[in-house]
Amino acid sequence: MSLTKTLSQLFGDAFASQGLDRAFGEVVVSARPDLAQFQCNGAMPAAKQAGRNPRDLAQAVIDAVEDGSPFAELSLAGPGFINITLTDDHLASYVDSLAVEPKLGVTPAAPKQIVVDYGGPNVAKELHVGHLRPAIIGESVKRTLRTLGHDVIGDVHLGDWGIPYGQLIVELEDRYPNLPYFDAQLTDGYPAEPPVSINDLQELYPVAAARAKEDEGLAARARAAVVELHDGRPGYRALWQHMRNVSVEAIKAVYDRLDVEFDLWHGESTINHRLQPMVKRLFEEGHAVESGGALIIEVMSDEDTREIPPFILLKSDGASLYTTWDLATIEDRIEELGAEEIIYIVDVRQGLHFEQVFRAAYKTGIAPSDVVLEHPGNGTVNGPDGKPFKTREGGLLTLRELIDMVVTRAAERLEENALAVEFDDIEKAGIAEKVGLAALKYGDLQNHRSSNYIFDIDRFTSFDGKTGPYLLYGAVRMKSMLREAAERSIRSGQVIAPLQEQERNLMLQLTRLPEVVERAGELRAPNHIAEYAYELVAEFSRFYEACHILRESDGARQASWLRLVEITLAALGLLLDLLTIEVPERM
Ligand code: ARG
């Protein structure tokens, strides 16, 4: 259990002994580390509730808690704050216990069934810069919630059922009318090999989209083709399946490179079988009403101070759309996956869409009121001009190009810093890949998920400052120090009471990890982990400067320091994993 949780229990007991709620005993890391290590602020609200004097109550709590306690100092401050400082022995023994805790004190929560919907790419198009944030924030949130003990399913929710497939079908039909997919009489026996490669699709899609934009006749054919696709016309389904397969393969390759891993490769199309019964039921139950030929659900309520347009269930041509699919997907996730929470890591600019979908889901009972539907939106990656990142030519940079760019810069940085110079080319390239990805991911995740940030490749790839490469360098330094100790047969041992400030500070820093991970999970905000990981490495560096581990003559102290390095490395490994960052063995 985390240290603050243990302390909170002790203080909770003390409040309970005063006939008050145990929850008042919550202990947190001190806001004034110069005065104390931890603090408990519960006396003020508790006193208010009980009609007592807060300072007297705080003193009573101190008296109740003090007996045989792990505290070096408990003191009353201001209107009723309790300042807490542990004995060095207690601190050391807590940190020592972390050596056998793979999660470094993170206590499992009551597990919930959670679906994280992130990624959201559209098939037939290459991943681009805009797909970076949802992918890594989503992956990080998924890993964090899992570490906190939840059952988490990551679903990529492919855009695979929209108008673009109609446009592509029509484009292909015009180019290759003799392909069996367009023969309406045929119902099976289509070729096993896809008629198009991913490169073909990438060439075709922009052309098809542009043509449909100019030519209303073509656009109408594309819409009709989509309706037929949805209704199950065999040739269209077969062709669509091929397009989906080749796209998924290409999309997966980029996500793999980013270490972004989905449990489900579902898409908008996955719930097609649910649409008809759902629409029918919502109509019969009176939730959906006709409006201008379309079928809508009113989602605005009297309390609203802004306009919330109605949720569109079916368009006037009878076709389902983005909103319909998201609603049916909620039904599917609740019924098939037992989802208790669904978290959408999707661009903040889709806020209104999710507002409408969530309202429709609750209003129609598709989501019972105890199911949590949440859209913690992500901001954008901007260029130096503060606008969404573009290539020099003004085009959208593909994600693959962006990664290549950062990895190339990382390789230069390694050289500039004389790192990894003596390794063979394969290892060097592997290290550059990891450093580049760390730069990219940390540069992103250090910002709150909802803010926009400027993509600054020089800053992100620097080995100094708050960057991914700095953290990797810290981790690699810990690894190499442990290797050296092993070569010299120096062993780690029990963590003993700190003598130096830097040693104590590192220990205190380690005790904070569980709260940080919890906060990041609750707020769906990996930036808390990013910030803390940086502070941990910075604290480690100060310790490392002050405590010359390999030269230490006191065996017990040396063994304790070494254990501290091991624990710090384990903690950093956990944090970096939550940030989806991989550490090289050496560099
Ligand atoms: N494919 C969508 C887009 O490109 C994003 C999907 C987000 N997820 C969702 N459940 N709607 O805008």
Asked whether the beta carbons of 512 and 493 are under 8 A apart, the reply is no
Q: Is 159 touching ligand 1 by the criterion CB < 6 Å?
A: yes
Asked whether the beta carbons of 528 and 520 are under 8 A apart, the reply is yes
Name the pTM for this structure: 0.96
pLDDT tens per residue across span 346-360? 999 999 999 999 999
Statement: residue 1 has pLDDT above 90 = no
* pLDDT > 90 in the chain, percent: 94
Q: Locate the ligand 1 atom nearest the alpha carbon of residue 122 and give its number.
A: 1
pLDDT attached to residue 93 = 95
CA of 346 from ligand 1 middle (Å) equals 7
- The closest residue, in CA terms, to atom 11 on ligand 1 is 326
Q: Is 340 touching ligand 1 by the criterion CB < 6 Å?
A: no
pLDDT attached to residue 279 = 98
Query: Which residue among 116, 155, 157, 343 has the greatest number of ligand 1 atoms within 8 angstroms of its CB, and so is best to mutate?
Result: 157
Round to whole Å and give the CA distance between 304 and 293: 26
pLDDT attached to residue 518 = 96
Token pair 């030269």 is at which residue?
551
Round to whole Å and give the CA distance between 42 and 398: 52
Q: Locate the ligand 1 atom nearest the alpha carbon of residue 121 and give its number.
A: 1
pLDDT tens per residue across span 461-479? 999 999 999 999 999 999 9
Cβ of 100: how many Cβ atoms within 10 Å?
A: 7
- The closest residue, in CA terms, to atom 3 on ligand 1 is 120
Instruction: Give the mean pLDDT of 113-131.
Output: 95
Half-sphere exposure of 105 (CA within 13 A, CB side): 26
CA of 395 from ligand 1 middle (Å) equals 21
Cβ of 40: how many Cβ atoms within 10 Å?
A: 29
Give bridge partners of residue 294 from the DSSP assignment. Answer: 291
- According to CATH, the superfamily of the domain at 3-86 is Arginyl tRNA synthetase N-terminal domain (3.30.1360.70)
Statement: residue 516 has pLDDT above 80 = yes
pLDDT attached to residue 141 = 98
CA of 378 from ligand 1 middle (Å) equals 12
Statement: residue 40 has pLDDT above 80 = yes
pLDDT attached to residue 384 = 86
Statement: residue 307 has pLDDT above 80 = yes
Q: Is 157 touching ligand 1 by the criterion CB < 6 Å?
A: yes
Q: What is the 3-state secondary structure (H, E, C) of 72-108?
A: EEEEEECCCEEEEEECHHHHHHHHHHHHHCCCCCCCC
Q: What is the 3-state secondary structure (H, E, C) of 320-382?
A: CCHHHHHHHHHHHHHHHHCCCEEEEECEHHHHHHHHHHHHHHHHCCCCCCCCEEECCCECCEE
Query: Which residue among 131, 247, 337, 344 has the greatest number of ligand 1 atoms within 8 angstroms of its CB, and so is best to mutate?
Result: 344
pLDDT tens per residue across span 214-257? 999 999 999 999 999 999 999 999 999 999 999 999 999 999 99
Q: Which of 377, 390, 388, 404 is nearest to 453 (CA)?
A: 388
Q: Locate the ligand 1 atom nearest the alpha carbon of residue 329 and give its number.
A: 10
Q: Is 117 touching ligand 1 by the criterion CB < 6 Å?
A: yes
For helices 555-578 and 88-97, angle between their N-to-C axes, nearest 10 degrees: 60
pLDDT attached to residue 484 = 97
pLDDT attached to residue 67 = 74
- The closest residue, in CA terms, to atom 12 on ligand 1 is 120
Statement: residue 259 has pLDDT above 80 = yes
pLDDT attached to residue 394 = 78
pLDDT attached to residue 391 = 78
CA of 4 from ligand 1 middle (Å) equals 39
pLDDT attached to residue 452 = 96
Domain ranges of the chain: 3-86, 163-257, 399-578
Round to whole Å and give the CA distance between 529 and 441: 12
- The closest residue, in CA terms, to atom 7 on ligand 1 is 120
- The closest residue, in CA terms, to atom 6 on ligand 1 is 120
What are the CA-CA distances from residue 432 to residues 406, 410, 586 (Å)?
9, 6, 11
Round to whole Å and give the CA distance between 111 and 116: 15
Query: Which residue among 118, 122, 269, 357 has the greatest number of ligand 1 atoms within 8 angstroms of its CB, and so is best to mutate?
Result: 122
Confidence of residue 298 (pLDDT cuts 50, 70, 90): very high
Query: Which residue among 126, 251, 266, 346 has the greatest number of ligand 1 atoms within 8 angstroms of its CB, and so is best to mutate?
Result: 346
Task: For residue 576, give the 3-state DSSP assignment.
Answer: helix
pLDDT attached to residue 393 = 79
Asked whether the beta carbons of 450 and 379 are under 8 A apart, the reply is yes
Instruction: Give 554's contacts (C-beta < 8 A, 6+ positions apart).
Output: none
Q: Is 573 touching ligand 1 by the criterion CB < 6 Å?
A: no
CA of 159 from ligand 1 middle (Å) equals 6
Q: Locate the ligand 1 atom nearest the alpha carbon of residue 326 and give its number.
A: 10
Statement: residue 197 has pLDDT above 80 = yes
Output the CA torsion sign for 298, 299, 302, 304. Answer: negative
Round to whole Å and give the CA distance between 83 and 515: 19
CA of 155 from ligand 1 middle (Å) equals 11
Round to whole Å and give the CA distance between 376 and 358: 13
- The closest residue, in CA terms, to atom 5 on ligand 1 is 120
pLDDT attached to residue 183 = 95
> Which two structure tokens, joined as six digits, stand for 64?
């109740």
Query: Which residue among 137, 329, 350, 352 has the greatest number of ligand 1 atoms within 8 angstroms of its CB, and so is best to mutate?
Result: 350
Round to whole Å and give the CA distance between 537 and 433: 21
What's the distance, CA 57 to chain centroid? 42
pLDDT attached to residue 392 = 75
CA of 267 from ligand 1 middle (Å) equals 9
Q: Is 326 touching ligand 1 by the criterion CB < 6 Å?
A: yes
**Which CATH number among 1.10.730.10, 3.40.50.10470, 3.90.1010.10, 3.20.20.100 corresponds to the domain 399-578?**
1.10.730.10
Output the CA torsion sign for 523, 329, 319, 292. Answer: negative
Element (H, E) at 343: strand 341-345
Asked whether the beta carbons of 2 and 106 are under 8 A apart, the reply is yes
What's the distance, CA 18 to chain centroid? 42
pLDDT attached to residue 102 = 92
What's the chain's average pLDDT?
Answer: 96
Q: Is 346 touching ligand 1 by the criterion CB < 6 Å?
A: yes
Q: Is 96 touching ligand 1 by the criterion CB < 6 Å?
A: no
Statement: residue 436 has pLDDT above 80 = yes
Half-sphere exposure of 19 (CA within 13 A, CB side): 5
Q: Is 120 touching ligand 1 by the criterion CB < 6 Å?
A: yes
